[in-house]
Every structure is written in C-alpha cells, then in structure tokens.
C-alpha cells in the first residue's frame, strides 16, 4: 500500500491561499427548509445555501435593531420623523447590499479566519460614505450623531451575529457536518501539503475526500498519509470526473497546472462547471492572507500580485498608538490585581517580586522584559541540571512539571498572570500588545535568514503562538506562526488575536 506521510503544518486565523477559478455559487445545489437559527441542522450537501440565508436574516435583524437603538438614544421614544426613518431604511438596504457585494457570506469565508470580519467592516463603511456624500450634495437635515450611533450599534450587532453563527458552525464541523467535500489534484508532495493545510483545522469548511495524481498507475487501494488521517488516491488526472461523481465532491483544488497544461485545465473547468462543482487553483503559496492578494492580467495570462506587508508607515504609527493607549488603560484597570499578585509573590517565597530577563526586540535591540517571578530564587542556575528533561524540540526550555516553579507561580503561569507586567514594556515601546514571541539571545544567534524576519516587528505579549497552543507548539510551528503574523499583519488581525487570547488564557491550555 502506498503510504506517503506529511509534515504537520499549523494553521491560524489567516486564510489559506487558494484562487476560485469558476462557479462561485455553483456549490449551492441543495437547500434545506427553514431560515431561523433554531431550524434543523443543515446536511453536508446543503449547508452553504441554508447558512447564507440564515446569516442574511441575522444581518438584517442586527442592522434594524442597531438603527432602532440609535434612534431611541438620539431622539427618545415616540413617533419619529418620517423623512429620517426613510433615510434610515435606505441606509439599511444599502448596508445589506454592500454585505452581499463584498461576498461576506461566501462559502469559504464564513466561519474561517479574519477575512469574514474584514469584509463586514468594508461593507459597513459603504452606506455611511454614501450618506456623507448625499448629505453634502442634497443638504439632508439629519443628525450626524444618529448616523454615527447607527453605524456603531449595527456594526457591533452584525459582528456579534456572525460570531454566534461561527461558533455554531464550528460545533457542526467538529461532528463532520457543514463541510465542503474537496478532491485535490496534484503531485505527491504538493497534494499532501495542500490537503494537510486545507483539512488540518476543524473550524475550516473543507474536508479533503481524495486525491488524483497526474500519471498515477499504482495500487488502486493506495492512500496518502496526512498528519492526522489518510486520504485515498482515486487515480490519475483522467479519473478526476469519475472521482468527483463517486465521492460527491463539491470542489476540486488543482496544484498541478504545469502537468495538466492550459488547454486541459480549461476543459476541466468547463466539465466541472457542468457538474456544478467549483474549480480552485492553488498557486503553492502558504501563509498569505487574502487581503494581500490582488489579481492582474498580462494579455491573456492571469497573474497574482502579492502585496507587501503592511507594517511600515501609517500602519506602524497606528499600531504604536494603539499599543501605548491600550497598555496605559490596562495598567490603570489592572492596578488592584497587580498589587494583589505582588503581595502573593513576595509572601509566598523568598526572592524579588519581578523577574527581569534580557530579550531581543525589533531590529535586534535588547531590552529588559519584566514578569512576575514564578520560580524560586536561583532557578536559572538549576537549568543545566534539568536539561535532559526538556520537552521542547527547539532552543526553548519547557517542562510541564518544572520543580523550580512555586505553587503561586504555577497558578500565575496557568492563566498568564505572570506576564501582566509586560504592559510596562509595551508602554515603554519595547514590546507590542500583539506580535511575535519574545526572542531569547541564544535563539537569535541560531536564527537563519528566514527566521530573522520575526524581528521586523516588536515582540508581543500575545500573538498567534499564544492562541494556537502556546507551550504545546513545536519549535517549527511557533516559528511558522510568527512569520505568518509578520507577513500578514493588519489591525483587524490584532483585534482578532486579542479576542482569542482572552479565551486561551481563561482555558489555560498549553500554559506551564
């Protein structure tokens, strides 16, 4: 039996890089009845159309409630001005149209990464830009405060509704429902990497059900070994249509465009379109967020333009401003907790309250990183004696049951309370609220040129490594997540990571 193993590649909130080539809406071939949130769970074959309709209803309700709440806040109860109510209705309709035009309910976007929320944000700005232009030209008599409140309330409620649907989708997908069945067409290594990337995260909508390998003439019962399961090899490129019919696949992802040739790929798209099956072309680029992708053409050739990372210029200024304001506000809000932890650390064991260790920041500048002390005094001198018990595969030293950790320190580490003093590092400009994991000096000396790109941004109190497994990550996984963050940074990604950090810290997973 053919058994090709893969290397596990961690996924994050950042979407996979696949390009839809045909039949954007063709996968909605069957629809279940009912549109309310309490209606029966959709089947695998029908979930996309059903969820779109339900989310559309939730969006409309959120916009309506948001505008009604804004009206009550601004004008109070009672009969309103019909002209203002009419303008509000127009804005609401434009908002719904914008959510549709920006494809915020697209099958591969719903419930996956930050792209859905980015599209909701972009769509939410459209009707209010239109209002501003209309007010300037038509001189509308309408309170701007009411319009601003409508945007705020509606935006919050729309995103809350999307998050509620996302949680429900995750539960359904974890039990094998609401998944898009996909066949991958490509060479051995490329197929394994793409299939593993597409199916590794159970919150994603895709389940790879088989693979076709160009020129394959091997055992018909052979399979490819992914990181956590096997997928059958269904034949060569000529067996693809038969494999689609046999498996009931909704989409085909192609990684072997050079092996198929332009004409074969075009004919394949036509035939899949006739079957109501989507064709996706994977360019072989991993860890590129969708907002950095632009399409261009040169003659009859379609090109993909990968935009430069956004962490310079105005984006950098906005990140620094947010870090300083956020750190200052959190220090004031958490001051009683800081005092309580300080007393607990001081009274529970001998030694200082804070542990200060050198870390390498952005552009290789060293700074003193501050933490609450969680180990007994002299713990650094005992590390060599415990080196043989290191549970990390990289230069970091990690033990689940480290004997140097104090009882209070163990509690602090479980909920990341020992890292709260790093807010002072953020306030001083050494660190960011969100960023790559802080760098040890001995790590930096071993960095390759690729890994050194982690130092283009300031290290963060939290990051993709924090919300994706923390200490349970391998060295390669943590490096890949950091590089992915550096390459795809955006303000919305920071908000997403901060939101998920709260959940990760409360659960205490991967912290020791």
Chain segment 406-434, per-residue pLDDT in tens: 889 888 988 889 999 999 999 999 999 99
**8-state DSSP, 284:** S
Residue 211: inside a domain: yes
Residue 281: inside a domain: yes
Q: Are residues 322 and 469 in the same domain?
A: yes
Q: Are residues 121 and 164 in the same domain?
A: yes
Q: Are residues 466 and 497 in the same domain?
A: yes
Q: Are residues 348 and 466 in the same domain?
A: yes
Mean pLDDT of 88-112: 87
Give pLDDT, residue 336: 94
Tell me how many domains the chain contains.
3
Query: Are 201 and 181 a contacting pair, CB within 8 Å?
Result: no
CA 512, chain centre distance (Å): 24
Give pLDDT, residue 15: 37
Q: Are residues 484 and 375 in the same domain?
A: yes
Domain boundary among 174, 207, 232: 174
182-194 pLDDT, tens per residue? 898 887 777 777 7
**Average pLDDT value for the chain:** 77
Residue 289: inside a domain: yes
Stretch among 9-23, 206-220, 440-454 having the lowest mean pLDDT: 9-23
Stretch among 210-224, 377-391, 436-450 having the lowest mean pLDDT: 377-391
Mean pLDDT of 480-489: 84
- Report CA-CA distances (Å) from 183 to 46, 249, 290, 499: 18, 7, 22, 34
User: Can you give the C-alpha Rg of the chain in angstroms?
Assistant: 26
When pLDDT is cut at 50, 70 and 90, the band that residue 338 belongs to is very high
Q: Are residues 130 and 78 in the same domain?
A: yes
CATH number at residue 215: 3.40.50.20
Torsion of CA 124, 114, 230, 275, to 10 degrees: 20
Give pLDDT, residue 468: 77
When pLDDT is cut at 50, 70 and 90, the band that residue 384 belongs to is low
Q: Closest by alpha carbon to 70, among 159, 155, 147?
A: 147
When pLDDT is cut at 50, 70 and 90, the band that residue 8 belongs to is very low
Residue 293 to residue 116: CA distance in whole angstroms:
15
pTM for the predicted model, two decimal places: 0.66
pLDDT at residue 392 above 60? Answer: no
CA 12, chain centre distance (Å): 5
Q: Which is higher by pLDDT, 444 or 460?
A: 460
Residue 34: inside a domain: no
For residue 127, give the 3-state DSSP assignment.
helix
147-195 pLDDT, tens per residue? 888 889 999 999 999 999 988 888 888 777 777 888 988 877 777 777 7
Identify the domain containing residue 63 by its residue range: 47-174
- Written as six digits, the tokens of 351 are 């030694």
- Written as six digits, the tokens of 221 are 């019962």
Q: Are residues 99 and 9 in the same domain?
A: no
Give pLDDT, residue 21: 38
Residue 38: inside a domain: no
Which residue has 């939290």 as its token pair? 462
Q: Are residues 243 and 391 in the same domain?
A: no
Domain boundary among 306, 334, 365: 306
Give pLDDT, residue 51: 86
For residue 148, give the 3-state DSSP assignment.
helix
Mean pLDDT of 192-216: 75
Q: Are residues 463 and 362 in the same domain?
A: yes
When pLDDT is cut at 50, 70 and 90, the band that residue 63 belongs to is very high
Give pLDDT, residue 432: 94
Residue 374 to residue 382: CA distance in whole angstroms:
15
What percent of the chain is modeled with pLDDT above 90?
A: 22
Please name the residues in contact with 467: beta carbons below 8 A apart, sequence gap of 6 or more.
12, 13, 497, 500, 501, 503, 504
Stretch among 61-75, 232-246, 380-394 having the lowest mean pLDDT: 380-394
Residue 36: inside a domain: no
Residue 41: inside a domain: no
Domain boundary among 118, 140, 174: 174
Give pLDDT, residue 141: 63
Residue 417 to residue 505: CA distance in whole angstroms:
9
Give pLDDT, residue 313: 61
Q: Are residues 214 and 276 in the same domain?
A: yes
Give pLDDT, residue 24: 34
**Concatenated DSSP letters for 389-420?**
G---SSSS---TT-TTB-HHHHHHHHTTGGGT
pLDDT at residue 260 above 90? Answer: no
Q: Are residues 163 and 187 in the same domain?
A: no
Give pLDDT, residue 189: 74
Q: Are residues 323 and 349 in the same domain?
A: yes
Residue 328: inside a domain: yes
- Report CA-CA distances (Å) from 33 to 197, 268, 410: 33, 33, 51
């Amino acid at each position: 039996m053919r058994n090709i193993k893969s290397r596990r590649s961690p996924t994050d909130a950042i979407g996979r890089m696949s390009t839809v080539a045909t039949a954007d809406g063709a996968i909605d071939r069957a629809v279940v009845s009912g549109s309310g949130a309490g209606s029966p769970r959709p089947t695998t074959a029908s979930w996309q159309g059903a969820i779109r309709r339900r989310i559309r209803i939730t969006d409309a309700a959120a916009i309506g409630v948001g505008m009604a709440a804004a009206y009550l806040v601004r004008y109070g109860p009672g009969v309103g001005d019909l002209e203002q109510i009419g303008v509000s209705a127009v804005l609401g309709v434009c908002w719904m149209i914008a959510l549709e035009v920006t494809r915020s309910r697209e099958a591969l976007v719903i419930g996956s990464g930050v792209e859905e929320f980015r599209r909701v944000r972009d769509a939410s700005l459209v009707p209010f830009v239109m209002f501003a232009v209309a007010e300037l030209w038509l001189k509308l008599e309408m309170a701007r405060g009411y319009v601003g409140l409508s945007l705020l309330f509606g935006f919050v409620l729309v995103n809350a509704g999307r998050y509620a649907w996302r949680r429900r989708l995750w539960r359904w997908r974890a039990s094998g429902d609401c998944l898009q069945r996909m066949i991958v067409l490509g060479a051995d290594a490329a197929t394994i990497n793409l299939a593993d990337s597409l199916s590794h995260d159970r919150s994603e909508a895709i389940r790879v059900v088989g693979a076709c390998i160009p020129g394959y003439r091997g055992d018909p019962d052979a399979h490819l070994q992914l990181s956590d399961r096997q997928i059958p090899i269904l034949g060569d490129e000529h067996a693809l249509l038969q494999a689609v019919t046999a498996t009931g696949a909704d989409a085909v992802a192609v990684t072997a465009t050079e092996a198929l040739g332009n004409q074969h790929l075009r004919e394949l798209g036509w035939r899949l379109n006739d079957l109501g099956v989507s064709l996706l072309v994977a360019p072989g680029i991993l860890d590129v967020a969708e907002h950095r992708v632009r399409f261009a053409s040169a003659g009859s050739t379609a090109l993909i333009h990968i935009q430069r990372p956004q962490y310079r210029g105005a984006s950098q200024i906005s990140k620094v401003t947010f870090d300083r304001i956020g750190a200052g506000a959190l220090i004031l809000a958490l001051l009683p907790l800081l005092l309580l932890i300080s007393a607990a650390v001081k009274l529970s064991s001998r030694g200082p309250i804070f542990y200060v260790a050198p870390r390498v920041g952005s552009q290789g500048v060293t700074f003193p990183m501050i933490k609450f002390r969680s180990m007994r005094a002299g713990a650094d001198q005992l590390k060599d004696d415990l080196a043989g018990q290191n549970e990390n595969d990289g230069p970091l030293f990690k033990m689940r049951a480290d004997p140097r950790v104090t009882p209070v320190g163990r509690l602090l580490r479980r909920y990341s309370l020992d890292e709260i003093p790093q807010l002072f590092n953020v306030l001083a400009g050494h660190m960011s609220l969100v960023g790559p994991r802080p760098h040890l000096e001995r790590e930096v000396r071993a960095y390759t040129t690729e890994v050194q790109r982690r130092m283009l941004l300031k290290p963060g109190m939290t990051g993709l490594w924090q919300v994706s497994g923390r200490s349970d990550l391998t060295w390669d996984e943590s490096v890949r997540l950091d590089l992915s963050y550096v390459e795809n940074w955006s303000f919305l990604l920071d908000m997403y990571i901060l939101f998920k950090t709260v959940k990760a810290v409360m659960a205490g997973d991967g912290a020791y």
